[in-house]
Structure 1
Amino acid sequence: MPARLTLFRLLMQERQWDNWSVFAGHFGQAARDVALKTSAPRLMGVAVARRTFDRWMVGELKGMPQRDTRVVLEHLLGFSCTELFGPPPDVFSAARAVHDRGGLAASIAISDRWPTSRLFMSATGDVADSWHIRGRRLLDGTTAAVQFHSAVTVGDTVRITAADNDSLVRFLRPVRRGILVAVDEREDLKLYVTDAASARRALASFPSPDGALTLPAAHELDDLTYGILWSLIQIDDGLLADDQVLDEELRLMDTFLSLPRSALSRETQPGLTTVGSNWLGSAFCAQHIQRRLDGVTEPPVFWTREQTGEEAATWLFFQHKHAYLRSLADRFAGAGAMSRTFCIPPSEVSRSSNYERILLFLAIALMELHGIHVRVTIHPEYSTIDGFALATGQRAVVANWLRSESLWRADTITTRPELRSYQEIFMDAAATSVMDGPSPLDRLRALAGYLEIDWPWLVRRCLGLSTSGVTGLARPRSRLITLDALTRVLHFVGTLPPDR
């Protein structure tokens, strides 16, 4: 049975109490507070069972809560139970263009489908709603303004006609990041997204008499587009927050690059965001590897530490990573295929949502696009191995910034016993790769199967999004980000045969 929208459910979503254990903690504290306030010790023991909370969340009520429970609940949330378990009151509809039925349904649908998102609805018309996005382990989280508008989908086009055009103009004017969500409720609820900056440019360049805005149907909000938005926005905002510090740190990097080995503690830059720290480590490692491969004529083999889409998304957006892949491809062109191995244990796959697994897939597909033969081992004992590039019989260039206490750890190994160890690691992992096959198509199909990604759907969606373009979906603002790699890999995957 679909969930019934109630004020209680909306408050739980907005306060991020939509998990029973979180709610129960707040409810227990409220019970103690009201027991002391009213001199009613019996209220100390009032609690809400998980099953009861789940029924409240979906609006499945056979009657109002019992008297003591009702007293505590009304004290906790500030509304009567009649209001809490009825539809949201008019105050939530103060901004008509934002809090119409479609906008509320869309905000709940997004929060339900993607637990890393929460939407907070404003009660006044002059304050935008906000979309809070949070990472898992690597990304810091950020918030964007959001506005919902009804829309009609016709073929490959989505047409938005704002009920209040002045509200739309006011939303688009500020320079902060904003996201427009088009809501088509005619059949199943369908959502489409576009960046506010792109919408602003579209309205200025192609004005329509009725103020309507059009966007491609390929911008439908699903696991592909959500994954792109989720990672890009957090990476972009993290880099912007650290822009000046990163510019200063780059000037000091040459000192460390001249050393055969180095490790810089994260404590040297305690104020950096996680994204900024990882960008600095990644940029150093890319340069360290390229410098230490000077004089190598045969294509090296690479070991890569990324295991999740959150970690691998940097390959899709960091400008220096895209340049790094192009540089290596040019350097070893005609000398044979390079290879790169990932360690992705089943436990990491099971912990990742579909949108994050798609990001991981796209990062690996990008390497196949650059002529790199990718292998994936699933053995967890290899998870702690630092990233390295092995020039067989010459040197192993160690460079790692992921899941490390240091901003980076870099080394150059030349002793024969250690080189044999690196060679054995690579050969053992390559022999058990789940990403097997003679061609990029075969290997990527095998990878999609391992990651439990619907191959025909992914190919179709990548083709549609690459045709319409990704810049309208989310436009980066940091000079350290590029969409070129993402655009190329979407086209590459989208032109592969969709049938098995």
Structure 2
Amino acid sequence: MVDRKRQPNTLLRKARGGMSQAQLADLVSAEIYHATGKQFLITAKAVSDWECGWYTWPRAEPRTALCRVLGKSDPADLGFYKQRMSTKPVPASVSLVDLIAGQSAAQPEALRLPAGRSYSGVEIGAHYWPVELPGDGWLMVDPGKDVSLNRPDRRSLVIVTDHEQRHYASDGRRFVDRGSRRTGLQPISSAALLDDLTVGIIWSTTNTDVALLADDGQLTSSQARLAHHEGRRTSDVSLTEVPTLNAVAGQWLGSRFCARHITRNLDRLSDEPFFWTRENRGEEAASWLLWRHKFEYLRRTSRWFPRMRRGFCITEADVAESPTYERVLLLLAAALMEAFGITVAVSAEPEHAQVEGFVLADDAIVANWLGGSGLWYVDASAPPSHRALFRELSDQVSANSVVGEDSAGRRLEALASYLNVPWQWFLMRCQELAVAGVDDIAHPRSRLLSTRGLDTAIRYVAYLNDPRGADFARR
């Protein structure tokens, strides 16, 4: 048996007669309230969608009210019918990436989030609902009674599909929590459209969250066991110290130690510093957007040095080998830096990728947790030979930055061009998500994570042309 193709509902159009769609919508809304005491906002757009055949079986309340208003005893007399099931086999799971721009029409029970350099990949539950009432900027969905959405042992996404076969996503638990506070249809923002921006956010947040939760207890014990390294001028810790930590958890531990090391030694610097960081892929740069300690570290250091610079090495190979949704995360990380008044510089030279993380002013602090052979390596004062190398790199990156523009907006636009991310699309999507926020799309469970960095970066881009935009973004 095959699916019925969309056809205009001529019976409903004929039954409407000389009434306008808006008039019929008002009568149906009033009839629902009279019969049930419930307030349903039926719009002319909803009537239009029914007549166009986009939705062939409205909810019970509007379906019954339509029959009463139009004097019919059976919904079939108004051209309504339930869609028949397709016999096409449904795969056990599909990649979340395949839902971008409606690339997959299947509705499997699970969605795969791809693996990465350190990400192991995650499979999450998927729950599909049709749009009951489309509107301007939102879609109304009936949450039903699906208790599996709130299972503590498995995270899930609510996937909503509109009549143009575009997919929208909401974190399952957040969706249920909102439904427990508000009865009836639940709104999902149209900003939750699945594209390279939202997929990148869901991909990084979920993979990071799962990894950190898996080793939460070990992270606590590892911090206690390695606490004697705190306060040392030099520390070099091997990965053998934490042999059972997964890659993401180990990186979190190293990053936190390096941030604390730099913060402890910043008072030794008197000039405006140049920070060199080794995140060259979106997966790694997502740490700035998600890890609580890195957001607070940015806040603190930017207040200490209001005109600081931060350099990245992103080679052409890094760009070519990364999917768009991962490159978007790099752009968001740069936007977060600029939101704190940090001037971003980018080198495309492959040899610069081998240089360890450092902070350079009149002295040099070494702090490296990424791309090295160990968990971390720090030094409160680099030797003169290293300082000379760092200064040469700093001068080269500042002079030849691929985003060497005189304003934050132009630097971000130049970076978008280098990363092959359409700037106008990115700007528009940030403006949409700035209103909705990202927490309903990707809601981390770990105490070590927050979406504050994501929201700050997105709001900053959204209000880039507003003189007060940076202050608003950091609130």
* Pairwise same-fold verdict (TM > 0.5): yes
CA apart distance, 1:105:
10
Say which of 375, 379, 387 aligns to 2:349. Answer: 379
Superposed, 1:343-358 pairs within 5 Å as: 343-358=313-328
Residue 119 of structure 1 deviates from its aligned partner by 12
Which string of whole-angstrom CA distances, capped at 9 and with x for unpartnered residues, describes residues 435-470 of structure 1? 111111111111111111111111111111110121
Select the residue among 387, 402, 412 that pairs with 1:444. 412
1:160 aligns with 2:141: yes
Are the equivalent residues in 1 in contact too, given 2:107–2:128 (CA < 8 A)?
A: no
Cα distance in 2, alignment partners of residues 480 and 242 from structure 1: 12
Alignment match, 1:270: 243
Call closer, same or farther: CA 1:314–1:275 in 2, change over 3 Å: same
> How is 1:270-289 mapped onto 2 (pairs within 5 angstroms)?
270-289=243-262
**Which residue in 1 is equivalent to 2:437?**
469
Partner of 1:45: none
Aligned to 1:302: 275
Deviations 1:10-43 (CA, angstroms, capped at 9, x unpaired) = xxxxxxxxxxxxxxxxxxxxxxxxxxxxxxxxxx
Deviations 1:145-182, CA, capped at 9 Å, x for gaps: 111122253221112236xx33x234335553111111
Which residue number in structure 1 is paired with residue 154 of structure 2? 176
Cα deviation code 1:74-116 (max 9, x no counterpart): xxxxxxxxxxxxxxxxxxxxxx99x8799959976845467xx
Q: Deviations over 1:294-329 (max 9, x none)?
A: 232322111110101011000000000001001101
Matches within 5 A, 1:301-340: 301-333=274-306, 337-340=307-310
Q: 1:216 aligns with which of 169, 173, 189?
A: 189
Q: How many residues align?
A: 383
* Alignment check: 8 A CA contact 1:459 1:495 kept: no
The answer to whether the aligner puts 1:142 opposite 2:115 as a matched pair is: no
Partner of 1:432 in structure 2? 400
| Deviation string, structure 1 residues 414-441 (Cα, Å, up to 9, x no partner) | 4434322211111012211011111111
Alpha-carbon contact 1:103-1:149 (below 8 Å) kept: no
Deviations 1:465-484 (A, max 9, x none): 11012111121111100111
Structure 2 CA distance for aligned equivalents of residues 101 and 283 of structure 1: 52
Q: Classify the secondary structure of the residue corresponding to 2:218.
A: helix
Give SS of 1:481's match.
coil
What is the rounded CA distance, in whole Å, between the counterparts of 2:227 and 2:312 in structure 1? 29
Question: Is the partner of 1:406 in helix, strand or coil?
Answer: coil
CA contact (8 A) 1:339 1:373 kept: yes
Correspondence for 1:206 among 179, 182, 197: 182
Correspondence 1:405 to 2:385: no
Secondary structure of the residue aligned to 2:219 is: helix
Contact 2:96–2:111 under 8 Å retained in 1: no
1:458 aligns to 2:426 (yes or no): yes
The SS at the match of 1:376 is: strand
Question: Counterpart of 2:116 in 1: which secondary structure?
Answer: coil
**Does the aligned pair in 2 maintain the 1:390–1:422 contact within 8 Å?**
yes
Partners of 2:149 and 2:176 within 8 A in 1: no
> Which amino acid is 1:389 matched to?
V
Question: What is the identity, as a one-letter code, of the residue corresponding to 2:191?
Answer: A
- The residue aligned with 1:233 is 206
Seen in structure 2, the aligned counterparts of structure 1 residues 281 and 173 have a Cα distance that, compared at 3 Å, is closer
| Aligned equivalent of 2:215 | 242
Q: Deviations over 1:175-227 (max 9, x none)?
A: 5311111112x23x11010011111111111111xxx3321111111110000
Q: Residues 101 and 314 from structure 1, CA distance in 2 versus in 1: closer, same or farther, beyond 3 angstroms?
A: farther
Cα distance in 1 for partners of 2:289, 2:458 equals 10
Quote how far apart the aligned CAs of 1:292 are. 2.1
Other structure's SS at 2:207 match: helix
**Cα distance in 2, alignment partners of residues 479 and 119 from structure 1:** 36
2:319–2:327 contact (8 Å) kept in structure 1: yes
| Fraction of identical pairs, as percent | 34
Greater shift in the superposed pair: 144-153 or 437-446? 144-153
Counterparts in 2 of 1:445 and 1:353: CA distance versus 1, 3 Å: same
- Of residues 168, 179, 195, the one that matches 1:192 is 168
- Match of 1:271, SS? coil
Give the letter for the 1:403 counterpart.
G
The Cα shift of 1:252 comes to 3.6
Task: Name stretches of at least 5 consecutive residues in structure 2 with no aligned partner.
Answer: 4-81, 467-475
Taking the TM superposition and a 5 Å limit, the aligned residue runs for 1:9-158 are 110=96, 112=98, 129-151=109-131, 153-158=134-139
The residue identity in structure 1 corresponding to 2:160 is A
Relative to 1, partners in 2 of residues 1:316 and 1:102: Cα closer, same or farther, differing over 3 Å? farther
TM-score (norm 2): 0.75
Tell me the amino acid that sits aligned with residue 139 of structure 2: V
CA drift at 1:485: 1.3
CA distance in structure 2 between the aligned counterparts of 1:216 and 1:118, rounded to whole angstroms: 21
Task: Answer whether contact 1:111 1:119 (CA < 8 A) is retained.
Answer: no
Gaps of 5+ in 1: 6-95, 123-128
> Kindly tell me: are residues 106 and 329 of structure 1, through their superposed partners in 2, closer, same or farther at Cα, counting changes over 3 Å?
farther
3-state SS, counterpart of residue 139 of structure 1: coil
User: Is the alpha carbon distance of 1:102 and 1:456 closer, same or farther for their aligned partners in structure 2, counting shifts above 3 Å?
Assistant: farther
